[in-house]
Structure 1
Amino acid sequence: MKKIISLFLSVAVLVFSFSGCGYKFKDINLVSKYNDSLSGTVLNVYNWGEYISDGSDDSIDVNKEFEKLTGIKVNYSTYDSNETMYSQLKSESVSYDVIIPSDYMIEQLKNEKMLKKIDFSKVPNFKYIYDEYKGLDFDKDDQYSVAFNVGMVGIIYDKTQIPDPEHSWKELWNPKYKDLALNFSNPRDCFMTAQMIIGDEKGTENRLNSENLSDWDEAYQLLKKGKSNLQSYVMDEIYGKMETGEAAIGPYYAGDYLTMLDVNPDLGFFYPDEGTNIFVDSMCIPSCAKNYEAALMYINFMLEPDIALANANYIGYASPHRAVCENEDYDYYQDPILYPSEKDLPENYHKEYYHAMKPKIRKYYENLWIDLKLY
């Protein structure tokens, strides 16, 4: 909903601004103390689109509140994939102070020495992050990242067109849904849909991070076979297609399903039986950062319970923040889609993180991806 109505919101904001109305600052209960010692400086933040509470629908405008509190100017820009963010950083044409990449990209950036260590003595609100989201493989010593959002990938379907789907990734290949099915328009997630099918059939545990080129070839062949069944490859375009009924089934992130459901109540969701990807998006400070101290202050501010709650309510993804998850006023408190219990999933359900792949493997599957898109 947030993405599809962003144009409407922009028009609404414009109308309000002409009528003399604007954002009304909120009464925020702060746990940490902040000062204006960096007032007048600039903080460059690079984040996913629609990934922060921005003041719409009477929500907290996180960046405006931070600016008011500290006097630091926030320059905020967005990207649509980890790969886009990586390319920008790699180009060295711009610098950012805070970024929010996903797990495997954090590992890649760390390996390429593109991240600065975080001084956690200046991020006391780190205490609110659940232990299960600390010390993960991509940052085992908790030196470079602070969990921001978590989630899993599932399949969204239109119940008016597909009333009783099989709970399997194979439904994306089902000829009954030819020209109605979607798949991801990024290589890791798209390959994942095939890798889960193949891995389930073979009984393998390491499905998404294989260093065997033949495994990527096998997934490529399965995706190639299913391409004619697809209406298109999508990222945020899935919003319009699923909300209007233009498409009937497609994979996406669980939190985004809840946003689409607000627009189209005929949408359903399931986690495929073969297993799925679990991900963590985390706040990091890139090595190109020019305002390190402000970055630390911003990260700590994002972990303030009131701010974390506002972000969690707005974004609709699962939160790693204890104060959010234990707050009964949280919009998604104990939501079964975002926080499924073990009894709601198949026994020994396979959940797997992406890891940073060796350059040789990454180049190989990226070339396969190009071939698939051109096929």
Structure 2
Amino acid sequence: MKQLSRVFLAIAIISAVLLYAVSRLNSSQGYSGAKTLTVYNWGDYIDSSLIKKFEKQTGIKVIYETFDSNEAMMTKIQQGGTAYDIAVPSEYMIDKMRKENLLLPLDHSKLPNLKNIDKRFMDLPFDPKNKYSIPYFWGTVGIVYNPKMLGNKKITSWDDLWDKDLHNQILLADSAREVIGMGLNSLNYSLNDTNKKHLQEAKRRLDSLTPNIKAIVGDESRMLLENQEASIGVVWSGVASEIMAENEDLQYVLPKEGTNLWFDNMVIPKTAKHISAAHKFINFMLDAKVAAKNAEYVNYSSPNKMALKYMPKATVNDKRFYPSPEMTDKLEVYKNLGQKNLAYYNELFLEFKMHRK
């Protein structure tokens, strides 16, 4: 019995030593509780060198995870399996998350660089007074096209996409809000319309576009447009900017009927365990030079007015990607439609995709 006790004691000592060693190793690598920050963001949506810079400045180790849709992000946070300290949802999802008590209020006194944000991107309806979110990037949904492939034809509206000469030329984003929204806009309806008659009309309108659609794709649109395998794409502004840098023949236009003006903001989910570190990270990303470097990497529009001073004039003066306040006032921000209405949008989008087969 004494021998068995000695065995158990030896095991306990060895276990304690191993636990201590692992703890020291984690600490040396920046993984100790107070020195770790878990960030949940869209894929390739930050300059990784900035993460390293933040780690060096603060001693806080950043664990970076990615998601590919607002819905996937919210589901993961609702489940609570991972204690995310920062997430970057879009405007309509921020509205939904705050109403479902999934976000922690921000302490603006810990965000002195907040003064750098352009006031026209603050205090928006999805988060009054920015109680829960801070602007990260913004942009539009529009049409990128290759005039040379179209015989120098100009695209100025959604309606232009129904031209019979564009057979098998168009790439659509694989996203219900964007595609159904395009159908609604082409009929001069709101992007946030929930009238089922209008939505059915938009779906029929989209069905009639089928002969002109080459594919409904995600990131593949970049390669297809760059390689001139398609002449037109309905894309987000940052995607357009990126592929235009690779192919100077391409143009980007905001359709005259209207389109989406979107915002991605930084939030602190209710799962957060390192709230002080989260505030430090947000404030770091609000630094003018940091925001400028990040914008040049990501290719989306920065809401940081001070950052624009450190960016190429050709970039910030390009009205396609930094449209005037007069233009942005004419665009629509997605609203939280509610689960029932969003499900109907998704149902119509699925029917539309099936109609093509």
The bucket for the TM-score relative to the shorter chain is 0.7 to 0.9
2:197 paired with 1:209: no
SS at match of 1:155: strand
CA distance in 1, matches of 2:113, 2:270: 23
CA distance in 2, matches of 1:246, 1:78: 29
CA distance in 1, matches of 2:325, 2:313: 22
2:256 paired with 1:273: yes
- In the other structure, the counterpart of 1:365 is 345
If the length of structure 1 is used for normalisation, what is the TM-score?
0.81
Deviation readout 1:253-294 (Å, 9 max, x if unpaired): 222212111211111111111111111111111111122111
- In the other structure, the counterpart of 2:185 is 196
Q: CA contact under 8 A between 1:49 and 1:80: conserved in structure 2?
A: yes
CA distance in 1, matches of 2:162, 2:299: 29
SS at match of 1:336: coil
CA distance in 2, matches of 1:51, 1:118: 22
CA distance in 2, matches of 1:93, 1:228: 45
- In the other structure, the counterpart of 1:238 is 221
CA distance in 2, matches of 1:307, 1:261: 24
2:131 paired with 1:146: no
- In the other structure, the counterpart of 2:281 is 298
Cα 1:329–1:210, aligned 2, differ >3 Å: closer, same or farther?
Answer: closer
Q: CA contact under 8 A between 1:39 and 1:72: conserved in structure 2?
A: no
Cα 1:349–1:294, aligned 2, differ >3 Å: closer, same or farther?
Answer: closer
- In the other structure, the counterpart of 1:322 is 305
Letter in 2 for 1:339: Y
CA distance in 2, matches of 1:46, 1:70: 19
2:333 paired with 1:353: yes
CA distance in 2, matches of 1:318, 1:224: 32
From 123, 142, 149, the equivalent of 1:161 is 149
CA distance in 1, matches of 2:275, 2:51: 17
From 202, 206, 215, the equivalent of 1:223 is 206
Q: CA contact under 8 A between 2:183 and 2:205: conserved in structure 1?
A: yes
Deviation readout 1:286-328 (Å, 9 max, x if unpaired): 1111221111111011011121111111112111112112346
CA distance in 1, matches of 2:289, 2:271: 30
**C-alpha displacement at 1:235, in angstroms?**
2.3
- In the other structure, the counterpart of 1:103 is 91
Q: CA contact under 8 A between 1:180 and 1:248: conserved in structure 2?
A: yes
Q: CA contact under 8 A between 1:145 and 1:283: conserved in structure 2?
A: yes
Deviation readout 1:349-374 (Å, 9 max, x if unpaired): 73110010122211221222222222
Cα 1:115–1:40, aligned 2, differ >3 Å: closer, same or farther?
Answer: closer
CA distance in 2, matches of 1:43, 1:127: 24
SS at match of 1:332: helix
**C-alpha displacement at 1:175, in angstroms?**
2.5
Higher helix share: 2
CA distance in 1, matches of 2:314, 2:105: 33
Give the aligned length.
324
If the length of structure 2 is used for normalisation, what is the TM-score?
0.85
CA distance in 1, matches of 2:38, 2:104: 15
Letter in 1 for 2:216: Y
**C-alpha displacement at 1:126, in angstroms?**
0.8
Letter in 1 for 2:39: V
Letter in 1 for 2:180: F
Larger Rg: 2
Counting only pairs closer than 5 Å after superposition, residues 9-24 of structure 1 correspond to structure 2 as none
Cα 1:40–1:287, aligned 2, differ >3 Å: closer, same or farther?
Answer: closer
CA distance in 2, matches of 1:349, 1:229: 31
Q: Judge which range, 222-231 or 111-120, deviates more.
A: 222-231
2:293 paired with 1:310: yes
- In the other structure, the counterpart of 1:184 is 173
Q: CA contact under 8 A between 2:296 and 2:311: conserved in structure 1?
A: no
Identity, in percent, stands at 34
Letter in 2 for 1:72: I
SS at match of 1:352: coil
CA distance in 1, matches of 2:204, 2:86: 38
From 28, 44, 57, the equivalent of 1:69 is 57
SS at match of 2:37: strand
- In the other structure, the counterpart of 2:124 is 136
Cα 1:141–1:42, aligned 2, differ >3 Å: closer, same or farther?
Answer: same
CA distance in 2, matches of 1:165, 1:40: 56
Q: CA contact under 8 A between 1:172 and 1:182: conserved in structure 2?
A: no
From 321, 327, 330, the equivalent of 1:338 is 321
- In the other structure, the counterpart of 1:20 is none
- The runs of at least 4 consecutive aligned structure 1 residues that moved more than 4 Å come to 328-331
Q: CA contact under 8 A between 1:327 and 1:333: conserved in structure 2?
A: no
Unaligned regions of 5+ residues in structure 1, if any? 1-35, 55-60
CA distance in 2, matches of 1:92, 1:298: 21
Q: Judge which range, 226-235 or 330-339, deviates more.
A: 330-339
CA distance in 2, matches of 1:293, 1:216: 45
- In the other structure, the counterpart of 2:9 is none
**C-alpha displacement at 1:40, in angstroms?**
5.7
Q: CA contact under 8 A between 1:39 and 1:70: conserved in structure 2?
A: no
SS at match of 1:115: coil
SS at match of 2:260: strand
Letter in 2 for 1:254: S
RMSD of aligned alpha carbons:
2.1
Q: CA contact under 8 A between 2:155 and 2:253: conserved in structure 1?
A: no
SS at match of 2:262: strand
SS at match of 2:193: coil
**C-alpha displacement at 1:329, in angstroms?**
4.7
